[in-house]
Structure 1
Amino acid sequence: MNSSTTSELTAEPSLGERARADVPSTTSGGTNWVAVWAVAAGAFALVMSEFLAIGLLPDVAKSLHVSEGTAGLMVTAPGLMAALSAPLLTVAAARVDRRAILLSLSVLLVASNLLAALAPAFSVLMVARLLLGVAVGGFWTIGVSVAPRLVPAQVVPRAASVITSGITLATVASLPLGSLAGDLLGWRAGFLIIAGLALATLALQFFTLPRMPAQHAVTFGSLLTLFKMPRARAGVIASVLVFFGHFAGYTYLSPALHDLAHIDNTWTTPVLLLFGVTGIAGNFAAGMTAARSIRGTLTAGVILLVASLALLPLIGTTAPGAVVLVGLWGLAWGAMPLGLQLWILDAMGEKADSGLALFISASQLALAAGAFLGGVTVDSAGVSPDLLIAAAVSAVALIALWTAPRLSAARNNR
């Protein structure tokens, strides 16, 4: 790495310094870590609700007399609703206290899971899942953006990593827990357990979250402000490319392990758990390194992601090689959601709600497109071409990150 590149990675002010200037905290310099963990618990419950359905899918299909393909709508519908609801909620709740919004989203989470548990027909279950999508879209927009309101500026990246750790943990735990709950207690009990978890989270948030008044008005016009800000625009473009590439590959990781490394179903779950564990490590590592350089953190993560995807068809043809690459892939992906959200938060300052709303919409749509087109590629050409295409698309994100203006130039464009 040459000296100019090193300067680029280290010369920008730290995220903590920029947050201190841009986002006034309601903590008056204090640190409300209990509230941060309460928001993280909300993230955990929401993502657990979203992905638990994957493990329950066969039982739901059998119980409600629909095909497994139709039952799969339980998984895709919340994501699409989240993409739609994120910008709408951002505008509709522009002047509402953030504490009230987070509590309302937790109430909606409880209601959606109770309705799912009691659903007499698949149509009612789908209504419950659409309500969940509203909660997911609203939380992803508000959740990370409240971090500067709860802790001093110098520890904002660490607080954001705690919040996103709830997402990572839920992603790891949801599939095996969903399958276990379905086998032992039935799919309705699975949704009831999550409803109870959401209720406990609601109580924790009620007693720990401070008032967080809205800081500025948001309109549909102001949502488009992001596209006028080169640094923020680059962050969304990079997000679309990374989410598309990751989910084009990750959605078909199980068949890849089977077809390339000949890992049978008995060992697939432990390998996926390894992905989750290294993902948690990547999330917390990004929380520490992003305080020094967000661009450097994302660059390292994307390079590792691309390398893991591209090498899997080449040296992942043995079980040890595949396990190592999956672990590295998880480490890289763990840094991505946090790093990308911190980039938007950093680039837009007080307008972060608007930026995060579009980030969520774009990312959710990229997720769905990546999974769909990855499936088309797997069906027509196999998993190896799919992984290579995923790597190539992800690599383009590096161009977006490194052609974005530095902070000083971006700040002048606000």
Structure 2
Amino acid sequence: MTDTTSQQDDIAVEFNTAEPAAWSPATWFAVLSMAATSFALVSAEFLPAGLLTPMARDLGISEGTAGQVVTATASIGAVTALLSNVLIGRLNRKTVLVGLSALAIGSNILAALATDFWFLLLGRAGLGIALSGFWALSVAVVARLVGANATGRGMAVVTLGVSLATIAAPSVGALITDWLGWRPAMAMTAGLAALAMLLQVLSLPTLPASTGNSLADVFRLTGRRGVQLGMLAILLLMTGHFAGSVYVRPFLENVTLLQTWPIAMALLGFGIASVIGNIAGGRVADLNIRMALAITAALMAFAALALVLWGVHIGAAFGFVTLWGFAFGMAPVVLPTNLSRGASDALEAAGSLMVVSFQVAISIGAVLGGYIVDHYGAVGPLTLTSALAASTVALALTQPRN
């Protein structure tokens, strides 16, 4: 990656299927700093899942109330996603990313030192801002670092941090909490953010913004058919995933009749497969984004439906949970890359719409999944996952070819 390329803004990025140039060591260092940032931020986001009980006990609140720290992070992220690229104006994007990491450090320290629930929420709100700002900028920054025709590969490296954090944060957080308490566990996420910030300072090239974004610019993109299809794909596939994936454990308990240890192994298989899917998603997305989306959705649809049909058998349950994990690993790479193809001249504004779409999908999926499992049992949410993923396949095939 040349210095000239790294300093270009995302005014006009042309996507093509030409073979991407080999990355220089400097480019690898910069992309890995973005991956480290995603790992640090997502680790902090999912950490409460492993320490809710001691945190609730220490603050004198219920576990249900303590669980709202995750909701606060997501809610603030959804609200600020639309505004993040507007508020940063013409600031150098490297400065913004370093600043977001600094905000994550302060937020995690505040949460670790919180003496009551409201201070804890304040710290988590700051983390939500850092998360939404980082992801809103991620595709645009990666495209400038590696080139437009390697965006999928670059995002695969960045989102690898997400897959690793999703696997590690709850379990490692629980272990550290047992050894040292929940506050040191929370403080360690500040250390991860500090390391990520140091890597950003050392590795990212200067990333000047030649233009600022307005809220009107962001909303104007929603009039483009490519952006509409990209947002709809996120809403369909991620609503389906989050409606069903939360209830995979109840399904394995009530339908496959597994005990705790085999369930943990099945979920570990899901996590490992998601890492592999993440890498595969980057390769396929750069070759043919339309086909990449269709494959991702088809694999998820088949895995969920196969669990409903044959999940009573232990071997089938393990296999199809793993396949679901592979498809989910592809999704965080394929879906943003797919949306960006409809807004190659406005990647930062498209990033805001991408973050909002993900957050809305998570919220809708949680509501629908909860309602369906209460009324129809553990099989119901998985059926919805299959139906919405199958709809995404149909949507992918209606998109223009590369």
TM interval, short-chain normalised: over 0.9
After TM superposition, list the pairs within 5 Å mapping 1:40-189 onto structure 2: 40-189=35-184
Contact 2:243 2:368 in 1 (8 A): yes
| Aligned counterpart for 2:251 among listed residues 252, 256, 261 | 256
Distance 1:88 1:302 in 2: 30
Q: Distance in 2 between matches of 1:18 and 1:358?
A: 29
For the pair 1:330 / 2:325, whether they are aligned, the reply is yes
Q: CA deviation at 1:389?
A: 1.5
Partner of 1:291, secondary structure, is helix
Cα deviation 1:211-261 (Å, max 9, x = unaligned): 101143311111112222111210100100111000001111111111111
User: What one-letter code is carried by the residue in structure 2 that aligns with 1:122?
Assistant: F
Alignment-derived partner of residue 270 in structure 1:
265
2:104, 2:127 within 8 Å by CA — same for their partners in 1? Answer: yes
1:225 and 2:220 aligned: yes
Structure 1: which 5+ residue stretches go unaligned?
1-12, 21-26, 408-414
Cα distance in 2 between the residues matched to 1:209 and 1:406:
33
Task: Give % identity.
Answer: 35
1:200 partner amino acid: L
1:291-326 Cα distance to aligned partner (Å, 9 max, x none) = 110111110110010111111121111221111001
Contact 1:215 1:350 in 2 (8 A): no
In the aligned structure 1, how far is the partner of 2:389 from the partner of 2:301? 6
CA distance in structure 2 between the partners assigned to 1:94 and 1:233 by the alignment: 25
- Report the residue type matching 2:362 in the other structure: L
- The partner residue of 1:381 within 358, 373, 376 is 376
3-state SS of paired residue (2:60): coil
Instruction: Indicate conservation of the 8 Å contact 1:262/1:318, yes or no.
Output: no
Contact 1:15 1:290 in 2 (8 A): no
1:155 Cα deviation from its structure 2 partner: 3.2
8 Å CA contact retained: 2:15, 2:341: no
Q: Does 1:210 align with 2:205?
A: yes
In structure 1, the residue matched to 2:10 is none
Aligned length: 388
Bigger Cα displacement from structure 2, 335-344 vs 155-164: 155-164
Which amino acid in structure 2 is aligned with residue 289 of structure 1? V
**Alignment partner of 1:143: what SS?**
helix
Q: In structure 2, what is the Cα distance between the partners aligned to 1:179 and 1:365?
A: 29
Cα contact 1:16–1:153 (8 A) shared by 2: no
CA distance 1:352–1:18, shift in 2 (3 Å): farther
Q: Give the ranges of 4+ consecutive aligned residues of structure 1 lying more than 6 Å apart after TM superposition.
A: none
Deviations 1:144-180 (A, max 9, x none): 3211221244433222210111111111111211211
1:307 maps to what in 2?
Answer: 302
Superposition pairs for residues 259-408 of structure 1, below 5 Å?
259-406=254-401
- Coordinate RMSD, CA, aligned: 1.9
Give the CA deviation at 1:15: 3.9
Task: Find the counterpart in structure 1 of residue 190 from structure 2.
Answer: 195
The 3-state SS of whatever aligns with 2:255 is helix
Q: Scaled by the length of structure 2, what TM-score is found?
A: 0.92
Work out which of the residue numbers 230, 243, 247 in structure 1 matches 2:242.
Answer: 247
Maintained 8 Å contact 1:230/1:405: no
Q: Which deviates the most, 214-223 or 355-364?
A: 214-223
**Distance change (3 Å), C-alpha of 1:152 and 1:403:** closer
Q: What amino acid is the match of 2:133?
A: G
What TM-score, normalized to structure 1?
A: 0.90
